[in-house]
């Protein structure tokens, strides 16, 4: 069965520290998509990244980077030199084309608090 696990419920760091948010997924499909969303205090879900299962290249976008490893079924998210504005709940999600729907399966979310 498909499942996404974000084992870290809450993380607290001091500004400028690096922080990694873990995401482990389960799927029987060979084709699937992984996503990260950010939910700031204002409440909306903000799209960060979408990655398909055939592209294992790591991605970097400014202070954000993502490490996709199929061997360990993980899609971890690292924020370098964290800032107070990074404080939010971060969700990892999975979708499977074989389900014939685009529904996302979310992890429980990781609350990140960045202290000044």
Residues at the interface with another protein (CB under 8 A): 4, 33, 35, 37, 42-47, 50, 52, 91, 93, 95, 97, 99-109
Determine the Cα–Cα distance for residues 62 and 103; give it in Å rounded to an integer: 29
Q: For residue 94, give the H/E element and its range.
A: strand 88-95
Q: Quick one: which of 82, 71, 63 has its CA closest to 17?
A: 82
Point out which residues pair with 41 in neighbouring strands: none
The Cα 84–Cα 100 span in angstroms is 40
Q: Is 116 helix (H, G, I), strand (E, B) or coil?
A: coil
Nearer to another protein, 53 or 82 (CB): 53
Rounded least distance, CB 70 to another protein, Å = 18
Shortest distance, CB of residue 13 to another protein, whole angstroms? Answer: 22
As measured in angstroms, the least distance from the Cβ of 90 to another protein is: 12
Specify the residue, 13 or 104, whose C-beta has the smaller distance to another protein: 104
Cβ distance to another protein smaller for residue 19 or 105: 105
């Amino acid at each position: 069965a498909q499942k996404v696990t974000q084992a870290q419920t809450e993380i607290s760091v001091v500004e400028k520290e690096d922080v990694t948010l873990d995401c482990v997924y389960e799927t029987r499909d060979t084709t699937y998509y992984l996503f990260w969303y950010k939910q700031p205090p204002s409440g909306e879900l903000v799209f960060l990244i979408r990655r398909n299962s055939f592209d294992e290249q790591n991605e970097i976008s400014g202070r954000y980077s993502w490490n996709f490893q199929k061997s360990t079924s993980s899609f971890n998210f690292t924020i370098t030199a964290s800032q107070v504005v990074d404080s939010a709940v971060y969700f990892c999600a999975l979708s499977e084309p074989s389900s014939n729907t685009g529904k996302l399966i979310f992890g429980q979310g990781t609350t990140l608090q960045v202290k000044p």
